[in-house]
Every structure is written in structure tokens, then in C-alpha cells.
């Protein structure tokens, strides 16, 4: 039994594509984090586009697909583009986004002109040069694999050896300079590494879409951890999963290019991460809001019921209407809230019509009432807010005061007996 | 004895001359304040001293030598607003960077380095926050972390750019306490500061700056009403005109 079969990779070409794409996932996932945290996505895209004229010129000189010449041409063109954009930003009044757009279109335009010339000369079809724009995994050759492997080793070595420099230079370039780190060299090496990653993705994903592989995995990772190193690991895994799905999809639909499928699955994953990220995801935030709304509803019901019974010695059962005369809560909400409170044993009812606070419920209601009145007192005593202006603010603040803050308030106000409206502040016995 | 000598310094920033003919000596083992109004060139002076921006003329010497010969003896704390607080980095990793000046790009962090990192963190009272993301900290805590990074550098001279900006009075007092203990340990500290009122309490020595150096010397002499008036008083109209012309002409006498 062939282990490759487990992954649906019996076919030799498929296997080759898969290996090349995995290498791309690892290198792009690692380097992408630097690009992402430095907010250099646009620069990454510009470099990718700028490789085209370099590749074309290299081909015109070598008259064939020569990997060495190709790397040389691409590297020179990519670095030229970066320094050209930087020059525009420093020496003219052009803002950085404009400078990058100008660079990108200038280089890519030249690249297309050269490519058209090469195509008309009839050399391009055999060379596979036209594949570099959109990528074409299916036409990958074994020689491409050796090329990619060599580049990957160089890229990973650069990243590992220079990691400290790259990291410090990315976080605080001024500090990096003051401790004597070679800023210009670090900048150059980072750009070189970036060009290397883009070259690795050239054959499979292509110039137009490679930036997605740099940015999206890191963007996904940023949802899960604030640690830079862990982000690299997550980014690699994310890139790997997306590329695997993309490759399989493109094998399933012949004549479909791999690069776009990879980017589509990567983008889907990015979107899913934004939706379902554990802390700041849209869904998590929705749940949090919902919990908050219910908490406020519950606390308001308990507080209102407590206050109705505050002056009477016994704990009377209350109907919905009686609660509503003290505080307007829409009937449907009130009913639902009471049922939920019942489940938590904070209120009880014998007939589902009249409700009574349990001991725990009364204590909670008392606490919210106390917090409300403490906060009112704090506002009027420490913030000089008139006593007829403090109620609305206390209505919202009472729900977020923690036991620690409550204690501090009590000490600061010296366990006061009355709020600014001369109402008694209730304490637990 | 002076730790730093600034000689005939002229600096242009954003194509506009900011500092003119600055001459000053900064004493060893004291706390020196650089005082002046907004736009006086205080931060520019610090950056120029650190070689972060080119000089039009003059020089800065640390212990009689170029900065490059003294890199490990000089520590610079940038303004808080210059830092990307969203960067995925923890407190302990920021402080660890303080060791990189000595370790260079490739040498391994040793247990001695780790001890120094721990000590620096506890010196500023941030041990408990070592695993926190820097973005989660309050302004005062962020400033303390950067102070810890500087302490981990074990430098002799500390240049601090507006360390008290955007920080409440209680935190400022705590920071000042740490800075005073650094002075007791024999360090030379230079602080860019904009609040004249507290300046008179904080500094042993002061530079009054407003594009040119108005005075430098012991606080007791420098904080005289007429000198402060000169520092914070109106601009010099002809000088302003010259600065505008410099900018308009894209003037660069040094090529």
C-alpha cells in the first residue's frame, strides 16, 4: 500500500505539485508574518509584479529557461522595485500607497510588453514563461522541484540565521540601529528573502496571486495568538491546509489552474477565521454581546423585584404587571427573563403567574441596588455631578462593577448609609 | 567630569534647520533635563546625539569618543508614540532585546542574560507582567517596560525622549524614583521634558533649548526667570524667515 495514496496523490505529477506547494506553504507562512506585522502587504504585491520584467529579460538573454538567470533577473528586478518605491517616497511628495502603485504598474507593464515580444518570437510556449503570471501547477517539472528546493533552503537558512535581526528590526528599527545592528543590511536581507519566497511560488501560484500566500496565513494566525513564533507555526499550518485543499480541488476539475483554487480556499479560511476566532471573531463578539444583554435583563428584573419588596418585611410574590409598574420591561422579554432566572434558582413560582425571589435572587437584587446607589454617591461626591443627573449613568455602570471595585467603592465612601437621594443603601447581613 | 560633549551642532530635520550651533557639556552621574517649548528641537537633539539623523555640522562625543566606540555604554529610550503597540511581542521579549547590544545578532542568550532580564523587570516592578502582550499594558506600564529594556542594556548613559508624556502623576513619581536610583548607581541620565514646573525638581543640570541653546548648567542657575522667558518667549522673526527660505529652496549646503 502506497502511503501517497492515503492523500490521494498516487499520480506522479500530483505528488510533485504537492511537494512544491508544501515547500511554498512553509516558506510563505514564515516570511509572511514579517510582511504582515510590518503592514507591508502592498510592497509584497509590488515586488511580485515587478519580477515579471526581470524574468523576461533573463529569458531574452539566456534564450531558454535557465534557473540561475531567472533567479538573478527576478531578484534584481524585485530589489530595484523596492528601492525605486522607497526613493519615490523619500525624494518626492508622493505618498507611499501611490508610490507603490506607480512602481507596481510600471514594472508589470514593462513585463507584459516584454512577454508579448517573447511570445511573438515563438519561444514562450516551450519555455512555459507565460505560466508565471497565473501559475500552472500541472505543468511543473522535476527540475522545477530542485529549483524550488534550493530556494527554500536558502530562504529558510536566511530566516533562521537572521531571525533575531529581522525581528528586532521589524519591531523597533530605531532601537535596532542604536544597538549597532546593520539596518541597511537587514532591510536588504529581508527583501531578498521575500523575493525568494515569491520565486518559490512563481510556477505554482503565479505573480498575481502570490501575495495572498504571504498575507492570508499570517492574517489567520493573528486571530489565534499574540506570540510571533506561534503565529509562524499557525501560519504554516494554515497555508499547508489551504494549499492541500486547493491542489486537490484543481486535480478534481481538470483544466482548472491550481493557484486560484489555493487562493480561494485560503481566502475562505481567512474569512472563517474572522468569523469564528476565539476572542475577537465576529461570532464570539456576537455571543458576548448576547450574554451581556441577558445579564443586564436578569439583573434589572432581580433589582426591580428586590426594590418593590424593599420596604415590606415579607418577600411578596409579584405578577408581571406589578414588576412593570416599577420598571418598564417588554412583556415577552420579562417572561423569558423570569423563566431563565427560574432555571438558575434565582426566582420561583408555583403558578407561572406570580414570581418570588429566592434567597439567592434577593441577595443578587440587593447587590445591584447597592452598586447602583454606591455609584450614584461616588458620582456626586467625587465627580461633582448633580444628584438629579446621576441615575442614568448608574443604570449602565451597575452591571459592570466587579466585587473588587465594589470593595474599593465601599472603602472610599466609608460604607455610606444613604445615596444622594437619601435612600438607604442595602448591605448583606 | 562630563560624559557627553556637544560641539557646534547644527541639524536639519524634514528639510528645515532645527538646531543651531549647540555647544554643551553634560555632566557624568547626574540627571540632566532638556527643556523647551514644543518644536524647540528637544527630541531632534537626542536623535542627533544617537546618530539617528545626519548632522549639518559639529559633533557629539561620549567620554571623548565617537558613539560607535561606545554603543554598549549608551542606551536610548524612544518616545512611546514611536512604538507599534499592536506588534505581537511580550514584555519579556522586549526586555530581552536589551541584551542584544552585547550579544550581537547571533550569540545565544545565556542564563546570565536571563538573570539580568529578570532583575531589570523587577527593578521597574513589572515581573508580574512578563508574559503580557505589550499592547495590553497601560501607558505607564509600557514606559516601565522600555525602561527595563534600557536597564538590561547595562549602559552608563541613558537618553530618554519624553518618558513622562501621557502618564499620570503617580506613575511619573514612580518612574522618577527608578531614575533616581539609577543615578545613585552612578548612571548618567538625560531626559527630554516639557513641563517646566516639575523640571526644577527633577534635574541636577539642565539645557534650555529653543532652536538654539539658551542656557546650560546646574538647575539652580539655569532656571532663572529671564532665561526661561527667553526660552518660552516669542520666536525670533528673522530666524523663522531664514528657516522658511531654507525649506523653500531645498537648501543643502553639504550637497
Whether A163 and chain B come into contact, CB under 8 Å, resolves to no
A282 C-beta neighbours (distance < 10 Å), count: 12
Whether B137 and chain A come into contact, CB under 8 Å, resolves to no
pLDDT-wise least confident of A234-243, B56-65, B169-178, B239-248: B239-248
B39 C-beta neighbours (distance < 10 Å), count: 12
CB contact under 8 A, A164 and B105: yes
Q: Which of A245, A279, A313 is the last residue in one of the domains?
A: A279
Q: Is the pLDDT of residue A220 over 60?
A: yes
**Stretch B19-29: mean pLDDT, rounded?**
88
Q: Which of A279, A296, A331 is the last residue in one of the domains?
A: A279
A427 C-beta neighbours (distance < 10 Å), count: 11
**Stretch A109-137: mean pLDDT, rounded?**
78
Share of chain B above pLDDT 70, in %: 97
Does residue A223 sit in helix, strand or coil? coil
Q: A260, A170, A269, A261: which is closest to A216 by C-alpha?
A: A269
pLDDT value of position A350: 85
- What domains appear along chain B, each with residue ranges and CATH number? 2-248 (3.40.50.300)
Mean pLDDT computed over every residue of chain A: 87
All residues at 6 or more sequence positions from A134 whose CB lies less than 8 Å from its CB, including other chains: A206, A208, A209, A257, A259, A260
Of A164, A171, A179, the CB nearest to B87: A171
**φ, ψ at A272 (rounded to 5°):** -60, -40
Q: Which residue of A has its CA nearest to B71?
A: A179
Question: Is B45 within 8 Å of B8 (Cβ atoms)?
Answer: no
**Stretch B143-152: mean pLDDT, rounded?**
92
Q: Band the pLDDT of A125: cuts 50, 70, 90.
A: low
**Stretch B112-135: mean pLDDT, rounded?**
90
**Stretch B140-160: mean pLDDT, rounded?**
92
**CATH code for position A220:** 1.10.3470.10
Tell me, yes or no, whether A229 and A318 share the same domain: no
Tell me, yes or no, whether A149 and A118 share the same domain: yes
pLDDT value of position A123: 67
Tell me, yes or no, whether A274 and A294 share the same domain: no
pLDDT-wise least confident of A125-139, A281-295, B101-115, B118-132: A125-139
Of A177, A178, A226, the CB nearest to B88: A226
**Stretch A52-76: mean pLDDT, rounded?**
88
Question: For residue range A273-310, what is the model confidence (pLDDT) as tens digits?
Answer: 999 988 788 999 999 999 999 999 999 999 999 999 88
End-to-end CA distance of chain A: 75
Q: Is the pLDDT of residue A117 over 80?
A: yes
- Quote the minimal CA–CA distance from B72 to chain A in Å: 7
Whether B50 and chain A come into contact, CB under 8 Å, resolves to yes
Tell me, yes or no, whether A138 and A56 share the same domain: yes
Question: For residue range A82-100, what is the model confidence (pLDDT) as tens digits?
Answer: 999 989 988 888 888 899 9
Interface test with B, best of A39, A159, A175, A234 (most B CBs within 10 A): A175
- Quote the minimal CA–CA distance from B31 to chain A in Å: 21
Whether A162 and chain B come into contact, CB under 8 Å, resolves to yes
pTM summary value: 0.83
pLDDT value of position A124: 54
Q: Which of A263, A279, A295 is the last residue in one of the domains?
A: A279
CB contact under 8 A, A178 and B68: no
Q: Is the pLDDT of residue A9 over 80?
A: no
pLDDT value of position B250: 73
Q: B15, B30, B42, B12: which is closest to B214 by C-alpha?
A: B42
**φ, ψ at A88 (rounded to 5°):** -60, -40
Tell me, yes or no, whether A309 and A272 share the same domain: no
Q: Which residue of A has its CA nearest to B135?
A: A226
- Quote the minimal CA–CA distance from A167 to chain B in Å: 10
Tell me, yes or no, whether A73 and A149 share the same domain: yes
- The residue segments making up the domain with residue A360 are 281-429
How far is Cα A334 from Cα A328, in angstroms, rounded to an integer? Answer: 9
Q: Is the pLDDT of residue B255 over 70?
A: no
Of A165, A225, A227, the CB nearest to B105: A165
Whether A222 and chain B come into contact, CB under 8 Å, resolves to yes
Tell me, yes or no, whether A272 and A285 share the same domain: no
A220 C-beta neighbours (distance < 10 Å), count: 26
Tell me, yes or no, whether A365 and A274 share the same domain: no
Residue A181: enclosing H or E segment and its boundaries? none
Q: How many domains does chain A have?
A: 2
Q: Is the pLDDT of residue A429 over 80?
A: no
Q: Is the pLDDT of residue B91 over 90?
A: yes
Q: Which residue of A has its CA nearest to B101?
A: A179
pLDDT-wise least confident of A22-31, A250-259, A350-359, A373-382: A250-259
**CATH code for position A339:** 1.10.10.10
* Helix-, strand-, coil-residue percentages of chain A, each rounded to 5: 75, 0, 25
Whether B78 and chain A come into contact, CB under 8 Å, resolves to yes
Whether B48 and chain A come into contact, CB under 8 Å, resolves to no
Does residue B5 sit in helix, strand or coil? strand
Q: B194, B191, B165, B170: which is closest to B179 by C-alpha?
A: B191
pLDDT value of position A226: 85
pLDDT value of position A280: 80
Q: Which residue of B has its CA nearest to A182?
A: B105
Q: Band the pLDDT of B76: cuts 50, 70, 90.
A: very high
pLDDT value of position A163: 94
B38 C-beta neighbours (distance < 10 Å), count: 6
- Quote the minimal CA–CA distance from B133 to chain A in Å: 7
Strands (E), B114-187: 157-161
Q: Band the pLDDT of B249: cuts 50, 70, 90.
A: confident
**φ, ψ at B110 (rounded to 5°):** -95, 175
- Quote the minimal CA–CA distance from A400 to chain B in Å: 20
pLDDT value of position A92: 86
Chain A, chain B: beta-carbon pairs less than 8 Å apart: 59
Whether A173 and chain B come into contact, CB under 8 Å, resolves to no
CB contact under 8 A, A180 and B71: yes
Tell me, yes or no, whether A206 and A65 share the same domain: yes
Helix axes A210-222, A258-276, angle to 10 degrees: 20
Tell me, yes or no, whether A254 and A400 share the same domain: no
Helix axes B111-123, B139-152, angle to 10 degrees: 140
pLDDT value of position A126: 56
Rg of chain A over all Cα atoms, to the nearest angstrom: 32
**Stretch A205-215: mean pLDDT, rounded?**
87
Q: Is the pLDDT of residue B69 over 60?
A: yes
Q: Which residues pair with B208 in a beta bridge?
A: B35, B215
Q: A33, A25, A48: which is closest to A243 by C-alpha?
A: A25
Share of chain A above pLDDT 90, in %: 44
Tell me, yes or no, whether A309 and A183 share the same domain: no
CB contact under 8 A, B78 and A172: yes
- Quote the minimal CA–CA distance from A224 to chain B in Å: 11
The full 3-state SS of A255-314, as one line of letters, equals CCCHHHHHHHHHHHHHHHHHHHCCCCCHHHHHHHHHHHHHHHHHHHHHHHHHHHHCCCCC
Question: For residue range B194-219, what is the model confidence (pLDDT) as tens digits?
Answer: 888 888 889 999 998 888 888 888 88
**Stretch B37-65: mean pLDDT, rounded?**
88
Tell me, yes or no, whether A309 and A238 share the same domain: no
Whether B69 and chain A come into contact, CB under 8 Å, resolves to no
pLDDT value of position A235: 94
Give CA separation, B198 vs A129, A173, B141, B206, in Å: 68, 32, 21, 12
pLDDT-wise least confident of A113-127, A186-200, B49-63, B173-187: A113-127
Interface test with B, best of A226, A228, A234, A279 (most B CBs within 10 A): A226
Q: Is the pLDDT of residue A2 over 70?
A: no
Q: A364, A375, A421, A377: which is closest to A401 by C-alpha?
A: A375
- Quote the minimal CA–CA distance from A414 to chain B in Å: 23
pLDDT value of position A6: 66
Q: Band the pLDDT of B151: cuts 50, 70, 90.
A: very high
Residue A169: enclosing H or E segment and its boundaries? helix A163-171
Amino acid at each position: 500500500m502506497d502511503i501517497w495514496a492515503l492523500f490521494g496523490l498516487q499520480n506522479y505529477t500530483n505528488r510533485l505539485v504537492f511537494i512544491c506547494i508544501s515547500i511554498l506553504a512553509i516558506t510563505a507562512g514564515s516570511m509572511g508574518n514579517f510582511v504582515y506585522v510590518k503592514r507591508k502587504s502592498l510592497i509584497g504585491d509590488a515586488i511580485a509584479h515587478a519580477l515579471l520584467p526581470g524574468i523576461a529579460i533573463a529569458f531574452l538573454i539566456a534564450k531558454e529557461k535557465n534557473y540561475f538567470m531567472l533567479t538573478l533577473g527576478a531578484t534584481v528586478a524585485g530589489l530595484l522595485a523596492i528601492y525605486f518605491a522607497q526613493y519615490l517616497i523619500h525624494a518626492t511628495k508622493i505618498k507611499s500607497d501611490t508610490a507603490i502603485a506607480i512602481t507596481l504598474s510600471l514594472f508589470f507593464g514593462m513585463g507584459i510588453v516584454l512577454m508579448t515580444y517573447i511570445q511573438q518570437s515563438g519561444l514562450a510556449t516551450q519555455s512555459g514563461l507565460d505560466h508565471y503570471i497565473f501559475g500552472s501547477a500541472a505543468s511543473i517539472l522535476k527540475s522545477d522541484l530542485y529549483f524550488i528546493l534550493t530556494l527554500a533552503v536558502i530562504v529558510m537558512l536566511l530566516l533562521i540565521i537572521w531571525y533575531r535581526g529581522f525581528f528586532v528590526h521589524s519591531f523597533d528599527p530605531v532601537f535596532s540601529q542604536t544597538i549597532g545592528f546593520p539596518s541597511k543590511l537587514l532591510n536588504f536581507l529581508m527583501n531578498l528573502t521575500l523575493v525568494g519566497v515569491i520565486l518559490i511560488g512563481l510556477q505554482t501560484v503565479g505573480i498575481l496571486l502570490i501575495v495572498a500566500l504571504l498575507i492570508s496565513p499570517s492574517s489567520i494566525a493573528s486571530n489565534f495568538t499574540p506570540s510571533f513564533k506561534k503565529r509562524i507555526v499557525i501560519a504554516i499550518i494554515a497555508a499547508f491546509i489551504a494549499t492541500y485543499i486547493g491542489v486537490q480541488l484543481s486535480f478534481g476539475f481538470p483544466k482548472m489552474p491550481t493557484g486560484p483554487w489555493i487562493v480561494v480556499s485560503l481566502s475562505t479560511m481567512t474569512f472563517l477565521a474572522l468569523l469564528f476566532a476565539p476572542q475577537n471573531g465576529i461570532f464570539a463578539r456576537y455571543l458576548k454581546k448576547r450574554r451581556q444583554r441577558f445579564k443586564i435583563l436578569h439583573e434589572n428584573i432581580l433589582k426591580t423585584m428586590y426594590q418593590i419588596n424593599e420596604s415590606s418585611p415579607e418577600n411578596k410574590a409579584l405578577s408581571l404587571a406589578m414588576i412593570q409598574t416599577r420598571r418598564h420591561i417588554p412583556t415577552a422579554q420579562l417572561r423569558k427573563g423570569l423563566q431563565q432566572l427560574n432555571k438558575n434558582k434565582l426566582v420561583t413560582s408555583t403558578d407561572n403567574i406570580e414570581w418570588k425571589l429566592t434567597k439567592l435572587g434577593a441577595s443578587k437584587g440587593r447587590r445591584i441596588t447597592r452598586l447602583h446607589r454606591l455609584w450614584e454617591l461616588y458620582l456626586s461626591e467625587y465627580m461633582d455631578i448633580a444628584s438629579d443627573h446621576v441615575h442614568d449613568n448608574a443604570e449602565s455602570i451597575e452591571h459592570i462593577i466587579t466585587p473588587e471595585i465594589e470593595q474599593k467603592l465601599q472603602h472610599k465612601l466609608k460604607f455610606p448609609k444613604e445615596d444622594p437621594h437619601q435612600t438607604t443603601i442595602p448591605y448583606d447581613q | 567630569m562630563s560624559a557627553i560633549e556637544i560641539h557646534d551642532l547644527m541639524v536639519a530635520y524634514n528639510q528645515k534647520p532645527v538646531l543651531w550651533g549647540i555647544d554643551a557639556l553634560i555632566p557624568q552621574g547626574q540627571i540632566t533635563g532638556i527643556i523647551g517649548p514644543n518644536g524647540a528641537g528637544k527630541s531632534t537633539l537626542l536623535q542627533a546625539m544617537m546618530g539617528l539623523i545626519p548632522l549639518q555640522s559639529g559633533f557629539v562625543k561620549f567620554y571623548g569618543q565617537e558613539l560607535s566606540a561606545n554603543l554598549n555604554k549608551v542606551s536610548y529610550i524612544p518616545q512611546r508614540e514611536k512604538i507599534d503597540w499592536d506588534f505581537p511581542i511580550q514584555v519579556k521579549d522586549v526586555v530581552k532585546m536589551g541584551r542584544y547590544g552585547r550579544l550581537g545578532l547571533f550569540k545565544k542568550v545565556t542564563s546570565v542574560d536571563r538573570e539580568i532580564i529578570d532583575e531589570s523587570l523587577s527593578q521597574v516592578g513589572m515581573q508580574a507582567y512578563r508574559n503580557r502582550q505589550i499592547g495590553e499594558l497601560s501607558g505607564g506600564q509600557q514606559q516601565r517596560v522600555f525602561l527595563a529594556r534600557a536597564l538590561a542594556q547595562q549602559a552608563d548613559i541613558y537618553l530618554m525622549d519624553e518618558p513622562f508624556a501621557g502618564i499620570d502623576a503617580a506613575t511619573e513619581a514612580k518612574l522618577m524614583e527608578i531614575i533616581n536610583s539609577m543615578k545613585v548607581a552612578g548612571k548618567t541620565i538625560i531626559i527630554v521634558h516639557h513641563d517646566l514646573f516639575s523640571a526644577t525638581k527633577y534635574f541636577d543640570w539642565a539645557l534650555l533649548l529653543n532652536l538654539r541653546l539658551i542656557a546650560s548648567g546646574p538647575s539652580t542657575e539655569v532656571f532663572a526667570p529671564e532665561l526661561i522667558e527667553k526660552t518660552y518667549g516669542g520666536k525670533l522673526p528673522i530666524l523663522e524667515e531664514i528657516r522658511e527660505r531654507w525649506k523653500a529652496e531645498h537648501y543643502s549646503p553639504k550637497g
